[in-house]
Structure 1
Amino acid sequence: MLEQLLAKSVDGTDASQHTTLRQHLADVFESAIGVVDASGCDQLAAFGLSPSQWYDRFRQTVLLSAAIHDLGKANNHFQRMIAGDSKPQAIRHEWISVWLAEQPVVKAWLLPAVDRCERCWHIAMAAVAGHHPKHSHCSPQVDCFGSEAIEVFAEHAGFRSCLLQIQSQLGLGEPPSQISTILHEGVKDHQRPRQFCSMVQQLADFFADEIFVDPPWRRFCACVKACVIASDVAGSALWEHLDTQASRQNWITETLNRRPSTEQLESIVTNRLDGNMLREFQLAIAGSDASITLVEAGCGSGKTVAAYQWAGQQHAGRRLWFCYPTTGTATAGFQGYLLEAETNDPNKQSVVDGADLFHSRQQYDMLQMLGSRESDETMDDTSVRVESLKAWDTKTVACTVDSLLSILQNQRRGLYSWPAISQSAIVFDEVHSYDDMLFGNLLTFLRELPGIPVLVMTASLPTSRRNAIEKAAKGGNRSFCCVAGPEDLEQLPRYIRHKLGVSVTRDDALELVRDEFDSGGRVLWISNTVERTRKLGLELADCNARVYHSRFIYKDRVDRHNEVTAMFDSTDAGCATTTQVAEMSLDLKHATLLVTELAPIPALIQRLGRLNRAIHPDQPAEERPVRPFIVIDPVRDDGEFSSAPYRESDLELARTWLDSLGTEPLSQEQLVEAWRAMDISEKIELETSGWLTGGIETPVDAIRTAGYGVTVIRENDLPNAKRDRSVVAYTLPMNYPVSDNWQLGNYRHGGFPVASETAIDYCSETGAVWSTFVII
């Protein structure tokens, strides 16, 4: 007989108190009390559920789930596994917890904890079954059981101690003494697996018949499941840092009650304005009290500073999550708005009180900005849990949109951060860049979480997508408001197609770039592929060309980003050759010529937004000249047209749009109106959310259309990564290689596959390309 029942593996011979099953259940239960008491009303309100009607049953259901969620770990497979046996569990422990709870004598004992409400009971079972979201997560089938017996240690003294603890926590009667202990007798046992699967099917049928057809209960289920998962995170992590129950409860209460004040948010605005006043357009944004506010305004119009004023003026007392489409834009947004100069040392910067940056490479970026020496190992589950708890303690978050919308598809970052998200006002920036799947997830969020106020910002949006946002607002019974950009800036002529018009070839463009450079100009050339970007960098070396794209080691990419932005902040002549990364993450103030390959219309509008950004209506006419742009066909080295990575039909539409613009000076408004005049029909659908419809399962799925790449670490960089204790700094995103023999066996470092020394040709100035000849 085992001496102790464990919930977690331990190092050494003596088990830590908090690794025992009984104490782990107690830790999670205590955390659940703290989370529900501090944020339960916010969580319900986020779903549009009245706390006065739902709070009592919410608290009961969460606490029941937390009290029993890991009881199933008291089985021979799990206990053997955490003792060091590599053989996996035949049936995951959370399903065994449900099996235990569903035994008639156990259910009769536990059901009073939810006032005998069958719906609450089934939702508690869903929270127990789904508290470990996994990509491969699905209900067990008969063939999962295997040939080995599965036994629950229900007669163990430690298990009995867990039941007595649950009795005390939930105010129940005497625990049952006769609990079935054999889930599966082994190879010849077919009856018990079939009974188990029948139980699972009955639970699923209840959800189909009773929960999914009733939207408030469906939302209530999602709320309970996320709360239990978040409580499990806190219960599993906090004891390592806070050694008493009281200190852990205090931490949860204090952190979930930390919110930015109006003064703190408005100080960000004041710092950014630098003595200027908010413009009428910005005041309109700040004054919107609609549940969803859509802002359509061109690049450089001042949307971001208005968003902080909106949060301070309309939603004081709520956290602020500022969601950007990429890690680069999130870091730039954090650096531009949430860092402030220290008055006693102008060479140092500090973070605005209660602000933080959240994305997959945040620690390296913080190290670069603040000189932090934190270790940056890859984001395993433990790391994600710690970072998510930091989100609970952060008043103002700058993050990638994935960090937030990932909750809809049961990804860890979103679920673990749920209590903080439920208390927030959300800004979604640059939504024109969202692919169809990501935009569909945004619409689902807008419709299903009507209690969370949202500001949606974009430079341009087709009518179909604007209408879809308004339809999602109506579907969630939300008020909706649309704020247009400032007329004087939107109508200001900024661009003009080069006088050579549509006849400009690549060779013509190269000559024009050199002429612009010789005359002291600054040129931005945007290509559709990394290969053409790198090639251009070599061809334009005589023009002080800087190369910037995604296929750099991350530490080098940060350096290239800073070099390019510094070039365009100066008055020195220069040239940057980039890919699509320029469309959002580059704030270029003084570009005098734009060359771009043909791309879809929204991408071209964004690319044009990099040109002539410093122009302003208040300037004298002679100080705001229009700037030329050139659009060339994307061609391969063999001279053949190549639409990749876009659809050829989208490029044909873009060609039609360009022809409609004419040869006169153009404003941002004209670009957008010409696009809308094309009346392009687009089928837009909301994405099905695994969080909202998973029921007894917690399936994990993507929120964006899958990319075609792999992030690696080069074998050459391993010594530096180990020396610097920084995995992310040396990660390298690559397209999938043609050859299969690029990897160093099955070796991984920090979770990333290691590419052999000969697999990748790499230069810190021009980036990476797969070698044409690879030897392992």
Structure 2
Amino acid sequence: MKTNRPILAKSAQRGSSPLTLLDHTRQVKAAAEAIAAHLGYEVRLAGLGAALHDLGKAHPHFQTKIYGEEVPLQEQFPHRHELSSLGFLPLFDRADWPTLVDMVVAHHKSIRHDARERGILDLQRLGGPWIANHLLDWETWSGEALAVLNELQLSVALREVPRTEAEAALRYAVEHCRAQLRSAEWSAWRGVLMAADHFASALQHNTDKQLQGLFDKPNLGYFQQRTDNKLFPLSQTSADDQRPHTLVVAPTGAGKTDYLFRRCRGRVFYTLPFQASINAMFERVRAAETGGHVRLRHAMSKLVEGRTGRDVAEKLLQDKVGASVKVLTPHQLAAVAFGLPGYEAVLLDVRGCDVILDEIHTYSDKAQAMVLAIVDVLVQAGCRLHVGTATMPTALYHEVRRRLGGPAAVYEVRPPDEVLDSFDRHEVFKIPRNTEHPEALTATVDTLLRQAFAAHEKVLIICNTVLGAQAEFERLQREFPAVKAMLLHSRFRRLDRAELEKKLTAEFDGQPGPCFVVSTQVVEVSLDISFDRMITEAAPLDALVQRFGRVNRRRSPETIGKLKPIHVIEPAPKTLPYTREVVLRSYAQLPDAALLPERDLQHRLDIVYPDLTLADIDTHLIWDQGELIEGALTHRSRSMLVEALEIETAACILAADRAEYLNEKTSWERRIELEIPISWRTIQYNKNRQHYERLDFGAAPFVVPQPLADYQRLGLQLLEPDSFL
């Protein structure tokens, strides 16, 4: 029955009032028209698709649910408001129907193989009165939807749509979708609507304001001006080569980041391998005052940890289209290769942009295969790719260059040997293990530390696992209680991680010693820190080189030619999370009590990695020679990517944070700050897992009853499995 209450599109959220269907549609229409205009699509069609996309929310089934009422038993059926919206197709020019269906029919769900079998072709296959259900009480509620269209003042002749025409429109949509399954091309129009809907849903009444500056090119003048500095050889290397792609192999501290930005001509996507490293890069880009929207994207969060006092809208924009510069990990681009939900919007966003892939080698075999698959799609999408690394085995280098189009398409930059010689800065010492007297290893480390602290040195100690780092930190604090100390790894609350990184640069790297920091692999990439000495567990050579880059990092006339000590501990019987054979080959390539020449690194790397071994993930990809395998308007679940790459993550919270996490007044941003991301395998193999409460709320975190004081000292404490994330 018709009521006098407003027709809602969204219930109250994030402390805001409920949003009417008219207001939401206006916002999506504004966003869709702006996005289409920026991307070169017909603005008229974008506006019509946005006007149509949610009209089915006027259906009494949807309104009953959004008002929190119980749906009568006889009306309990799978309702897709998008499909009800398609009943209004007869109002539009028949020539526009294919585009309008593309925009509307699957802006939430795949047209088939939906996880809950609610795609339009799933419903058609299952049979039953799904068309009648989606047009239930059509004569009553369709008038309320028409009133919304009337307020939008479209150049469309509005009239009542007879039920028979609405039914025929839904049958047309079924046949159109069947044809799209045979399409080898992806639907850009689906991407336009999805991007606009997500944008407007996040910003709501702030949509119009935030559309300003969308898709603006960044001002990269800061990087373009940082040239001709003899301390940073790449600043003296021209970036004007007209080939679209770039391959740069250069030592840490050679000016790689600036050079990669100098090679960019448009909007920039900057990728780094670890979530832990992208905060620092994000702040670095912000400091460059590039203008436009500068955003950061975490795998599990939508905000920058620890940031306060900024407009909430800035946080809500992080994963939306149109950023001038976006800092992220390649996993956030994986949608384009694996066909995950929203991949069309991601493709529209990144198409034709500059994409920087920094430290591309730093992945497992499966993740490395993923990155190469992303490279293939981005090249097809007309992106300019700029790959930078300090260490890349020749086999991988050749494969990347081949996928980028070979020497004709790739500008290759590598400093000559005489320049590399000026980056010789580390003297490597091996620390042997004594299997009969294990305590000898501890005594050797402690002796080195006493000497270092007496000389007021800053020392970085790197362990391969979180558990190892926690244990070593506790031991060293007992042994050296008067020395300033810090522990850094991946298992801190997101709000604490940002503060730890700031403290690392301000109080440890930025102040004279003595001090020590115990860390895991999280310091390998991006963090601009420089220590006087390092003690590290053995690891693959490429990872070790990245670690070494945190010692004697700062180049000046006084530091060039000066060597700082690196102590590498002989591999233990178990080298988790790394493959033991690779770690043993890497350790064998290290000198002992001697310089590690920069010009020799490539040869040593190629001995460790003589061949390129990629995991077979082809069955999970949606492309074959640039064409879609499964057709348009479909997507695959995100769980498929997790399964393919074995990157599944879980979340924990502290018992001390449980009440705040569950409080209905706690914002979703705050809940994300309280979460501690871990690998699923970590919690799966934890002997205490069955004793942990798991909340059916938010990210469904496990509640760990660890005393807050212990957490503040060591971070989350869990049993370590055979992997590290």
**Superposed counterparts of 1:145-164, under 5 Å:** 150-152=133-135, 153-156=137-140, 157-158=142-143, 161=146
Deviation string for 1:529-563 (max 9, x for gaps)?
A: 21111111122122434322111233433444344
1:531-570 equivalences under 5 Å are 531-541=467-477, 542-543=479-480, 544=483, 545-565=485-505, 566-570=507-511
The alignment partner of 1:331 has SS state of helix
Which residue does the alignment assign to 1:289? 242
1:638 corresponds to:
none
Could you tell me whether the CA contact under 8 Å between 1:260 and 1:319 is conserved in 2? yes
- Between the aligned partners of 1:437 and 1:577, the Cα distance in structure 2 is 29
Amino acid at match of 1:82: I
- How many Å apart are 1:404 and its aligned residue? 4.4
The alignment partner of 1:517 has SS state of: helix
Give % identity: 19
Match of 1:655 among 578, 584, 590: 584
Counterpart residue type for residue 587 of structure 1: D
Q: Pick the aligned partner of 1:136 from 98, 115, 137.
A: 115
2:711 to 760, 763, 773: 763
Residue 336 (str. 1) matches residue 284 (str. 2): yes
1:93 aligned partner: 80
In the alignment, the residues of structure 2 paired with residue 108 and residue 478 of structure 1 have an alpha-carbon distance, to the nearest angstrom, of: 52
> 1:8/1:579 Cα in 2 relative to 1: closer, same or farther (>3 Å)?
same
Aligned-residue offset at 1:36: 1.1
- Is it true that 1:429 corresponds to 2:377 in the alignment? no
Alignment partners' CA distance in 1, 2:398 and 2:167: 57
Using a 3 Å threshold, how does the CA distance of structure 1 residues 334 and 31 change in structure 2: closer, same or farther?
A: closer
Q: Secondary structure at the match of 1:540?
A: helix
Distance 1:108 1:713 in 2: 51
Aligned-partner residue type, residue 400 of structure 2: I
Looking at structure 2, the residues matched to 239 and 355 of structure 1 have their Cα atoms a distance apart, in angstroms, of 18
Distance 1:524 1:465, change over 3 A: same
Q: 1 CA distance for matches of 2:202 and 2:467?
A: 45
Aligned to 2:723: none
Per the alignment, residue 304 of structure 1 pairs with 257
Supply the distance in 2 between the matched residues of 1:164 and 1:727 (Cα, whole angstroms).
Answer: 38
Q: Deviation at 1:336?
A: 3.5
Instruction: Letter of the 2:7 partner, please give it.
Output: L
Give, in angstroms, the shift of residue 580 of structure 1.
Answer: 1.6
Deviation at 1:653, TM superposition (A): 2.6
User: Hey, what does 2:222 align to over in structure 1?
Assistant: 267
Q: Is the contact between residue 35 and residue 419 of structure 1 (CA under 8 Å) also seen in structure 2?
A: no
Q: Distance in 2 between matches of 1:125 and 1:166?
A: 22
2:413 is aligned to 483
- 1:283-682 → structure 2 map (5 Å cutoff): 283-284=236-237, 286-311=239-264, 315=265, 318-339=266-287, 353-354=291-292, 356-360=294-298, 363=303, 365=305, 367=307, 372=309, 386-388=317-319, 392=322, 394-406=323-335, 408-409=337-338, 421-422=350-351, 424-449=353-378, 450-474=381-405, 479-485=409-415, 487-491=417-421, 492-498=423-429, 507-519=439-451, 520=455, 521-541=457-477, 542-543=479-480, 544=483, 545-565=485-505, 566-592=507-533, 594-614=534-554, 619=558, 624-634=562-572, 641-646=573-578, 650-663=579-592, 664-677=594-607, 678-682=609-613
| C-alpha contact 1:91 1:144 (8 A) present in aligned 2 | no
Partner amino acid for 2:375?
Answer: L
Give the direction of change, closer, same or farther, for the CA distance of 1:170–1:485 in structure 2 (3 Å limit).
farther
Distance 2:128 2:532 in 1: 66
Deviation string 1:84-105 (CA, Å, 9 cap, x unpaired) is 146697434256248647xxxx
Whether the 8 Å CA contact 1:295–1:482 is kept in 2: the answer is: yes
How far apart are the structure 1 equivalents of 2:385 and 2:617? 17
Comparing 299-308 with 174-183, greater Cα deviation is found at 174-183
- Equivalent residue in structure 1 for 2:632, among 695, 705, 709: 695
The CA deviation string for residues 39-81 of structure 1, in whole angstroms up to 9 with x for no partner, is 123xxxxxxxxxxxxx55xx57645543432344344432322
Q: Determine if contact 1:133/1:411 at 8 Å carries over to the other structure.
A: no
Write the letter of the residue equivalent to 1:293.
T
Range with bigger deviation, 351-360 or 141-150? 141-150
* Contact preservation (8 Å) 2:655, 2:706: no
Q: Secondary structure at the match of 1:764?
A: helix
Contact kept in structure 2, 1:97 and 1:129, CA below 8 Å: no
SS of 1:295's equivalent in the other structure is: strand
Q: Unpaired segments of 5 or more residues in structure 2? A: 721-725
**Partner SS for 1:713:** strand
Q: Output the CA distance in 1 between the equivalents of 2:356 and 2:276.
A: 17
Q: Name the TM-score, length of structure 1 as normaliser.
A: 0.73
Distance 1:437 1:133 in 2: 28
Secondary structure in structure 2 of the residue aligned to 1:112 = helix
Aligned equivalent of 1:707, options 622, 632, 647: 647
Tell me the distance in 2 between the aligned counterparts of 1:666 and 1:506: 28
Aligned length, in residue pairs: 670
User: What code does the residue aligned with 1:697 have?
Assistant: T
- 3-state SS in 2 of match to 1:711: strand
**Distance in 1 of aligned mates of 2:79 and 2:651:** 30
1:115-126 aligned at under 5 Å gives the runs 121=98, 124-126=100-102
3-state DSSP of counterpart to 1:498: strand
Matched residue of 1:432: which SS? coil
Counterpart of 1:645, as a letter, is P
Amino acid paired to 2:205:
E
The alignment partner of 2:139 has SS state of coil
Paired position in structure 2 for 1:127: 103
- Which has the higher mean CA deviation after the structures are superposed, 227-236 or 735-744? 735-744
CA contact (8 A) 1:524 1:577 kept: yes
Q: Which amino acid aligns with 1:613?
A: R
Specify which of 715, 730, 753 is matched with residue 674 of structure 2.
730
Q: Which residue of 2 aligns with 1:47?
A: none
Which residue is 1:2 aligned to?
2
1:179 pairs, out of 149, 159, 164, with 164
CA contact (8 A) 2:494 2:673 kept: yes
* Cα shift readout 1:459-517 (whole Å, capped 9, x = no counterpart): 22233432332233239x99222222464453443334425567798644432332222
Q: Distance in 2 between matches of 1:408 and 1:452?
A: 14
Give, as a single letter, the amino acid of the residue that structure 1 aligns with 2:467: E
Deviation, structure 1 residue 293:
1.0
For the structure 1 residues 110 and 327, does the alpha-carbon distance in structure 2 shift closer, same or farther, using more than 3 Å as the test?
same
CA distance in 2, matches of 1:400, 1:330: 8
Cα separation, partners in 2 of 1:133 and 1:276, compared to 1, 3 Å: farther
What's the CA shift for 1:457? 1.5
SS at match of 2:611: coil
Q: Please list the CA deviations of residues 225-278 of structure 1 after superposition, one character each: whole Å capped at 9, or x if unmatched.
A: 211111223444555236xxxxx3x863x42353323xxx223565x78x9468
Tell me which moved more, 763-772 or 650-659. Answer: 763-772
The Cα offsets for residues 321-359 of structure 1, whole Å up to 9 and x where unpaired, read as 32222333111113334327xxxxxxxxxx664463413
TM-score by length of 2: 0.78
> 1:746 maps to what in 2?
695
Write the letter of the residue equivalent to 1:746.
L
